[in-house]
């Protein structure tokens, strides 16, 4: 909103005449005026009752397009000497100069003119002093967009959002009503709680803010987030909320301390139903730190710290329905099996964004930093961007279609982007993609930094007898392998690969090994564009063989693009 002021100039013309003379009570004059002010034309009428020489009463009305219609009442009086101009006019009318000069100094010019029997009312009007308007007319205006209060609603349900607040307090449990002034003192385990807890009282389209409270010493118990509910821990960062007008940024609640969930070998936080989210918690010692089963709609897992997971830090399984899942800005410090595992079966349809996460110390030799498997008739569109993964037991990033079924029964559809990640000290491969579906797939691997792959030689390796790789005892930097007859569009661009146990970058087409699940004849086509990659340090630079498509650029090319099609 802004305020403006504008000085208004203009012009006006007024005419009047005496309407009557009432002897001792003076005379009544009437006036009409037209004026132009600013950008508006106006008109005015007024009555002037001259009661005596020193007293005048006025009543007027005026109207224009700027100030509207106004009514004014005035009282005026005067003090001091008579008008020299009225004396001049009297002399011009035949009065003697002596008569004029002999007038009392307290007489008004109106009285002087009135004493001349031959003087007309117009001359009397002309004899008056000019009236100077000492006011400056200013138009003030406040401009801005009109505003109104609108209730924020959940675009998925159309219901208004409600906010509930929780400050854990083990010495005074099961209290409060969720208001800022009276927060719940217990978060609870879910809607089946018998006590007065936040999650027992919550319903769809509600947002729960959880302060750290005393959870660092009296840990929160594992809990389940119902469908349509967002639960935010207090980590001092802003959070966005989808509304009918798009994303709205919610204010931070302040302290920056994560509430602590101690799970002791069971799932820490479970997301049920879909269209829900969790952010800002620390989860310690859980089987799966955050567990999502058949989530539908939009699901967000963001800004959590997950330590010492006995199975996986984040686990997702889905066998049907559509979901859009965002996994961002989480920290995973030590997990036994995988940092993050996503398994699709049946007719699941998943759009998955994994970005800005930090994953370290995956303990099992076959454990991956990020592991995704699409099986059966599922389909997935995945982006893995700007993550940091260190010390995965096997692959830092492993993507796979049809890893647990035969090609004849598997029709999984895969489209993915792996970009901007930094992976280091993987026990096996840095970035691995197995395409074992009879459906066409697409993958772009770009701008990643892969260093020290195969440090414990748990990935696939080169067969010393033939050029084909075999499972185990090695580690590729970046490797893509096809098994079944699904075609693949592939781009490997602008990556840096340093110090690998085996090959830096390789694409293996129509691979059949004893451990591969595809046992049917396969004739896939791989269209691959490889350009701008850097490779340095230890490891084999290339793989060779008649049925192997080597698409490796060991030094950054100058103005050259390599395009391969192999069948």
Is the pLDDT assigned to residue 156 strictly greater than 90? no
* Averaged pLDDT for residues 166-185: 94
Average pLDDT for the chain: 82
* Token couple for 438: 């009879």
Among 417, 420, 327, CA closest to 380: 417
How confident is the model at residue 450, as a pLDDT?
97
Consecutive H or E run containing 31: strand 27-37
Is the pLDDT assigned to residue 532 strictly greater than 60? yes
How confident is the model at residue 137, as a pLDDT?
77
Distance, in Å, from the CA atom of 490 to the CA atom of 552, rounded to the nearest integer, reads 13
How confident is the model at residue 132, as a pLDDT?
60
How confident is the model at residue 540, as a pLDDT?
64
More reliable by pLDDT, 532 or 405: 532
Regarding pTM above 0.85, the answer is no
User: Residue 434: beta bridge partners?
Assistant: 400, 481
State pLDDT tens for residues 428-463: 999 999 998 989 999 999 999 999 998 998 887 665
DSSP secondary structure string, 232-261?
EE--S--EEEEETTEEEEEPP-S--PPPEE
State pLDDT tens for residues 248-259: 888 766 667 899
Distance, in Å, from the CA atom of 12 to the CA atom of 35, rounded to the nearest integer, reads 4
What share of the chain in percent tops pLDDT 70?
A: 78
* Averaged pLDDT for residues 323-331: 97
How confident is the model at residue 113, as a pLDDT?
39
In which region does residue 94 sit, left (phi positive, over 0), alpha (psi from -120 to 50) or beta (all else)?
Answer: left
How confident is the model at residue 5, as a pLDDT?
82
Among 269, 262, 175, 277, CA closest to 220: 262
State pLDDT tens for residues 485-525: 889 999 999 999 999 988 888 888 776 544 444 444 566 78
More reliable by pLDDT, 392 or 402: 392
Among 339, 406, 347, 405, CA closest to 380: 347
Q: Are strands 246-250 and 496-500 parallel, antiparallel or unpaired?
A: unpaired
387, 358 in Cβ contact below 8 A?
A: yes
How confident is the model at residue 110, as a pLDDT?
39
Is the pLDDT assigned to residue 549 strictly greater than 80? no
Q: Please write down the HEC assignment for all residues of 166-213.
A: ECCCCCCCCCCCCECCECECCCCCCCCCCCCCHHHHCCCCEEEEECCC
How confident is the model at residue 174, as a pLDDT?
94
Distance, in Å, from the CA atom of 278 to the CA atom of 203, rounded to the nearest integer, reads 15
How confident is the model at residue 448, as a pLDDT?
98
State pLDDT tens for residues 464-473: 555 556 667 7
Is the pLDDT assigned to residue 49 strictly greater than 90? no
Q: Which residue has the tokens 């008569």?
A: 99
How confident is the model at residue 512, as a pLDDT?
58
State pLDDT tens for residues 93-145: 333 333 333 333 333 333 433 444 445 656 666 666 566 665 677 877 777 77
Question: pLDDT confidence of 150, banded at 50, 70, 90?
Answer: confident
* Token couple for 11: 């012009």
387, 421 in Cβ contact below 8 A?
A: yes
User: Residue 20: beta bridge partners?
Assistant: 28
- Torsion over CA of 343, 346, 347 and 348, rounded to 10 degrees? -20
How confident is the model at residue 531, as a pLDDT?
87
* Averaged pLDDT for residues 48-52: 82
8-state DSSP, 296: B
Distance, in Å, from the CA atom of 396 to the CA atom of 398, rounded to the nearest integer, reads 7
How confident is the model at residue 407, as a pLDDT?
53
205, 225 in Cβ contact below 8 A?
A: no
How confident is the model at residue 545, as a pLDDT?
35
Q: What residues does each domain of the chain span?
A: 2-142, 153-310, 318-567
Question: pLDDT confidence of 370, banded at 50, 70, 90?
Answer: very high
* Averaged pLDDT for residues 154-177: 90
Note the Cα 17 to chain centre separation in Å. Answer: 71
* Averaged pLDDT for residues 356-378: 96
Question: pLDDT confidence of 414, banded at 50, 70, 90?
Answer: very high
Residues 6 or more apart whose CB falls under 8 angstroms from that of 366 comprise 393, 394, 458
How confident is the model at residue 541, as a pLDDT?
59
Q: Which residue has the tokens 């699940």?
A: 517
What share of the chain in percent tops pLDDT 90?
A: 45
- Torsion over CA of 332, 336, 341 and 345, rounded to 10 degrees? -160
Is the pLDDT assigned to residue 16 strictly greater than 80? yes
How confident is the model at residue 459, as a pLDDT?
83
């Amino acid at each position: 909103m802004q305020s403006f002021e504008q000085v208004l100039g203009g012009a006006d013309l007024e005419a009047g005449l005496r309407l009557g003379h009432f002897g001792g009570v003076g005379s009544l004059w009437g006036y009409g005026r037209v004026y132009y002010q600013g950008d508006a034309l106006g008109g005015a009428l007024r009555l002037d009752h001259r009661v005596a020489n020193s007293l005048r009463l006025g009543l007027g009305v005026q109207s224009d397009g700027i100030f509207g219609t106004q009514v004014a009442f005035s009282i005026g009086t005067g003090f001091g000497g008579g008008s020299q101009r009225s004396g001049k006019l009297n002399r011009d009318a035949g009065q003697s100069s002596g008569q004029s000069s002999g007038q009392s100094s307290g007489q008004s010019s109106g009285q002087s003119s009135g004493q001349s029997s031959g003087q007309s009312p117009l001359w009397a009007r002309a004899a008056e002093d000019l009236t100077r308007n000492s006011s400056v007319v200013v138009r003030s205006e406040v401009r801005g967009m009109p505003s109104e209060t609108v209730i924020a609603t959940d675009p998925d349900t159309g219901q208004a959002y409600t906010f509930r607040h929780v400050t854990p307090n083990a010495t005074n449990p099961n209290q409060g009503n969720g208001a800022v002034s009276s927060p719940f003192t217990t978060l609870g385990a879910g809607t089946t709680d018998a006590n007065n807890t936040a999650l027992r009282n919550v319903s769809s389209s509600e947002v729960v803010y959880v302060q750290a409270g005393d959870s660092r010493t009296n840990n929160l118990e594992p809990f389940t987030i119902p469908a349509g509910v967002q639960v935010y821990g207090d980590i001092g960062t802003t959070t966005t909320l989808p509304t009918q007008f798009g994303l709205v940024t919610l204010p931070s609640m302040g302290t920056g301390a994560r509430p602590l969930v101690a799970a002791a070998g069971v799932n820490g936080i479970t997301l049920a139903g879909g269209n829900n989210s969790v952010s800002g918690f620390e989860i310690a010692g859980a089987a799966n730190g955050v567990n999502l089963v058949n989530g539908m709609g939009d699901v967000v897992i963001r800004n959590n710290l997950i330590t010492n997971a006995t199975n996986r830090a984040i686990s997702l399984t889905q066998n049907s329905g559509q979901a859009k899942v965002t996994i961002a800005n989480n920290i995973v410090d030590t997990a036994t099996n995988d940092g993050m595992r996503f398994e699709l079966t049946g007719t699941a349809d998943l759009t998955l964004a994994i970005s800005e996460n930090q994953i370290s110390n995956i303990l099992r030799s076959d454990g991956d930093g990020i592991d995704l498997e699409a099986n059966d008739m599922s389909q997935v569109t995945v982006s893995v961007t700007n993550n940091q993964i260190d010390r995965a037991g096997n692959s830092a990033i492993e993507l796979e279609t049809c890893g647990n079924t035969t090609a004849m029964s598997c029709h999984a559809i895969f489209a993915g982007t792996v970009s901007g990640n930094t992976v280091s000290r993987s026990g096996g491969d840095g970035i691995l993609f197995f395409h074992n579906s009879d459906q066409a797939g697409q993958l772009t691997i770009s701008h990643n930094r892969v260093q020290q792959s195969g440090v414990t030689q748990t990935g696939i390796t080169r067969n010393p007898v033939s050029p084909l790789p075999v499972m185990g005892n090695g580690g590729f930097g970046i490797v893509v392998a096809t098994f079944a007859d699904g075609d693949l569009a592939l781009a490997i661009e602008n990556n840096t690969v340093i110090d690998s146990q085996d090959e830096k970058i390789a694409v293996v087409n129509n691979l059949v090994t004893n451990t591969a699940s595809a046992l049917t004849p396969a004739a896939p086509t791989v269209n691959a564009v490889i350009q701008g990659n850097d490779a340095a340090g230890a490891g084999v630079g290339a793989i060779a063989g008649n049925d192997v498509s080597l698409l490796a650029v060991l030094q950054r090319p100058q103005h050259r693009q390599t395009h391969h099609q192999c069948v």
